[in-house]
Amino acid sequence: LHSPALIAQATQLAIAAGANFVKTSTGKTPVSATPKAAAAMLGEIARAGRQTGGPTVGFKASGGIRTVADALPYLALVAEHLGPGALSPERFRIGASSLLGDIEAVLAGNPLSTPAANSATY
């Protein structure tokens, strides 16, 4: 989906259908997760939570997240929209098997890798 309005609408539909998590993409498409798309989705998740009086849905960023530097914007967006308490497996996940190697490198003391290039807007 290429617009925030369509992304928001799809998120609303998923929540209304009873989704436990909404996910940015399968990771199998040319355009995968983007911070702008994540912000649109997280805004709808937060709105739904306010309407029901509590957390309703989790968020999964998936596709194109290969480095710790790639993951950092998603951590910040989740904390901003859903609160720091949402940075837990019950509310936030990253679907990126290639990220593990970079996490291990950072934990071993190597500097952060640069974010992977992603020219997509949404």
pTM for this predicted structure: 0.85
Residue 49: both structure tokens together: 């939570």
Residue linked to tokens 């500097």:
111
Residue 100, pLDDT above cutoff 80: yes
DSSP lists the bridge partners of residue 95 as 62
pLDDT category of residue 95 using cuts at 50, 70 and 90: confident
Residue linked to tokens 């950072």:
106
Q: Convert the pLDDT of each residue in 63-85 to its tens digit.
A: 888 899 999 999 999 999 999 99
Mean pLDDT for 105-118 is 78
pLDDT category of residue 119 using cuts at 50, 70 and 90: very low
Residue 94, pLDDT above cutoff 70: yes
Residues 71, 96 contacting (CB under 8 angstroms): yes
> Which residues have a Cβ under 8 Å from the Cβ of 15 and sit 6 or more positions away?
22, 44, 45, 48, 56, 57
Q: Convert the pLDDT of each residue in 16-55 to its tens digit.
A: 999 999 999 876 777 778 999 999 999 999 999 988 887 6
Which comes out higher in pLDDT, residue 121 or 9? 9
- CB atoms under 10 Å from CB of 35, counted, come to 18
